[in-house]
């Protein structure tokens, strides 16, 4: 049994809930029942469109993402394009079946080498997808390949 160290009871309960969801998803369980003395945590988890308390926002987001991923993972095999492997929910390749992934996050695979994301009329090359960190690294297609600089995110939910 893992011991969770948290100075804040709300944060401790949120970490425990997130770990429970990770376990449930990895074991293929069909449902998770949360019992907590934190009404706030229960409301934040049970209402996906509610803006969660800032202290637990990242954990609640990871819980919702795990639930969504589990709902879709049984239907769709992961895709790949070039060096990007294991493309899965919420992303999808244009050639994937319509019920795979979220259509807002459709990616194009050019010549099975370059993964492209079209967003707000712009064209971006996908360099990395991290499901653990909930981020995608893209480069403007107008830049020369491998001739660009990166800066740390200017905004991060974890701050």
**Could you read off the pLDDT of 64-112 as tens digits, one per residue?**
887 776 665 556 788 899 999 989 888 889 998 887 888 888 999 999 9
Residue 156: per-residue pLDDT: 47
Query: Do 59 and 114 share a domain, yes or no?
Result: no
State which of 50, 73, 96 marks the end of a domain: 73
> Alpha-carbon distance 73 to 33, whole Å?
20
Lowest mean pLDDT among 17-21, 26-30, 117-121, 154-158: 154-158
Q: How many domains does the chain have?
A: 2
- Identify the residue whose tokens are 């997808």: 129
Query: Do 17 and 62 share a domain, yes or no?
Result: yes
> SS3 sequence, 32-75?
CCCCCCCHHHHHHHHCCCCCCCHHHHHHHHHHHHHHHHHHHHCC
> What are phi and psi for residue 64, nearest 5 degrees?
-60, -40
Its domain, for residue 23, covers: 9-73
Lowest mean pLDDT among 3-12, 54-63, 79-88, 118-127: 3-12
Q: Is 91 domain-assigned?
A: yes
Q: Is 149 domain-assigned?
A: no
Q: Is 27 domain-assigned?
A: yes
Query: Do 29 and 58 share a domain, yes or no?
Result: yes
State which of 56, 73, 90 marks the end of a domain: 73
Q: Is 46 domain-assigned?
A: yes
């Amino acid at each position: 049994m893992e011991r969770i160290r948290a100075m804040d009871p709300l944060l401790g309960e949120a970490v425990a809930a997130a770990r429970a969801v990770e376990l449930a998803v990895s074991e293929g369980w069909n449902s998770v029942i949360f019992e907590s003395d934190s009404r706030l945590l229960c409301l934040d988890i049970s209402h996906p469109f509610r803006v969660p308390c800032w202290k637990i926002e990242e954990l609640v987001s990871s819980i919702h993402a795990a639930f969504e991923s589990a709902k879709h993972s049984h239907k769709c095999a992961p895709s790949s394009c070039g060096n990007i492997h294991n493309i899965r929910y919420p992303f999808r390749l244009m050639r994937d079946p319509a019920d795979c992934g979220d259509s807002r996050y459709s990616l194009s695979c050019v010549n099975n080498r370059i993964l492209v994301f079209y967003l707000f009329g712009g064209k971006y090359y996908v360099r990395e997808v991290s499901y653990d960190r909930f981020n995608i690294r893209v480069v403007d297609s107008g830049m020369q390949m491998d001739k660009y600089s990166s800066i740390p995110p200017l905004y991060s939910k974890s701050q």
